[in-house]
Amino acid sequence: MKICIVGTGYVGLVAGTCLADLGHFITCIDNNAEKIDGLTAGKVPIYEPGLEHLIVRNVREKRLHFTTDAIPAIQQSVVAYIAVGTPSGADGSADLSGVFAVAKTIGEAMNGPLTVVIKSTVPVGTADKVRAIIAEATEHEFDVVSNPEFLKEGAAIDDFMKPDRIVVGCSKPETQEMMNRIYAPLMRTSKPILFMDNRSAELSKYAANAFLATRISFINEIAKLCESVGADVEHVRRGAGSDSRIGLRFFFPGIGYGGSCFPKDVKALMTTAEQAGSPMQILDAVESVNANQKKLFIEKIETRFGSDLSGLCFAVWGLSFKPQTDDMREAPSVVLINGLLERGATVKAYDPEAMEEARHHLQDRVQYAASKMDAVSNVDALVLVTEWHEFRNPDWPGVLSAMKTKVLFDGRNLYDPDRLRAMGVEYHGVGRP
């Protein structure tokens, strides 16, 4: 099937590459010429495990193309996906200007029947608005499908190729048939395509992300309580999460959630709920707990070193908002580092993949270390922010001998406090005595 995807970011590029690998003919469109030129020359703009290999294969087999020229690509396609960003607007609602601009382009360009699939995360009612914009610009037949994406950065290929479910919002049987044909190769396991109306599909995505954010803020509040009452959240997490109704996945305390999705999707859902006259009180708490959690280590560091950190140097391990990605959007590392710098400290930062992205957020205000060992040389404390594999089992004797003082702030409860204390480390974690 000939398909074009407008928006070649984390979602559009992964979806396009995976659909090409499933045998479809894909054109990925973006208005960022630098990105498209790079991709055409074989340069993958994001770090996503396994992606480059798939791109190379599908470009070579002529099933995957990149262009800035939307019109011919739309005209040659039977399906057009919209996968542009939907960032937070000034009032917290999703900024849909990109989605609407693409809808207009599609309406003006299409020269025959077309199925338009909204992959971007969009608030309830957006499919109706997209339908109206396209109808204004064309006489040709079309349908609009709400098909939110649930992939996780860092495991995006696997998530796309082996989804827990595919949510498809549409009403016409022939559109359902079309979507079935696109995704049939992914459905050979017993995982379902869930067909529903557009509005339910749109809301499903926000409900999923808001619930996951709620789990994180919930266990972070339990961690805070653990510190007050002398319990250990690592035991409590297992004690509660081993109940199969609760589960241990996505139930880890830390220094807050970040990324391009949870913060903006929680905000957008709050705005939708308010506008609908049905405010979601629980999300106010989820957001404020998370904002406090991102500052938790600043407070701990102030308690330990005082509020004036001038003359002190901190190593930060991990900058991306989570491991296996270079995405720095809303990363807790930025809040932490800004807090340290504001208090006069200097910072040596290291991340296995996000150093280039980090420069856009932190400029030259920190020293960028060449390795994790380089980062800890002569520092007053080490802060572990993102639990990349390479930080899981470091050469502790080497690390500790490089540090000026053996103080560790473990933002992901990655390490065994007893073992480290036995090595003379002053250990600070999240929700642990």
Binding residues for ligand NAD (CB under 6 A): 6-12, 29-32, 35, 83-86, 98, 101-102, 120-121, 149, 151, 153, 260-261
- Minimum Å gap between C-beta 426 and ligand NAD is 36
Beta carbon nearer to ligand NAD, 11 or 110: 11
Beta carbon nearer to ligand NAD, 7 or 318: 7
Angle at which helices 126-137 and 97-109 cross, to 10°: 30
Q: Choose among 168, 154, 105: nearest CA to 388.
A: 154
- Minimum Å gap between C-beta 154 and ligand NAD is 9
**Phi, psi for 33 (deg, rounded to 5):** -65, -35
Amino acid identity, residue 410?
D
Describe the strand order of the beta sheet including 114-118 as a list of residue ranges.
Answer: 64-67, 25-29, 2-6, 79-82, 114-118, 142-146, 166-169, 193-196
Beta carbon nearer to ligand NAD, 63 or 322: 322
Provide the 10 A C-beta neighbour count for residue 360: 8
Cβ(12)–Cβ(119) under 8 Å? yes
Residue nearest to ligand NAD (CB): 9
- Minimum Å gap between C-beta 141 and ligand NAD is 23
Contacts of 400 (CB under 8 A, 6+ apart): 406, 423, 424, 425
Cβ(134)–Cβ(142) under 8 Å? yes
- Minimum Å gap between C-beta 84 and ligand NAD is 4
Catalytic amino acids? 261
Gap between the Cα atoms of 317 and 348, Å rounded: 9
Beta carbon nearer to ligand NAD, 165 or 235: 165
- Minimum Å gap between C-beta 405 and ligand NAD is 38
**Pairing outcome for strands 367-368 and 2-6:** unpaired
Beta carbon nearer to ligand NAD, 77 or 260: 260
Alpha-helix runs per DSSP H in 184-250: 198-229, 233-241
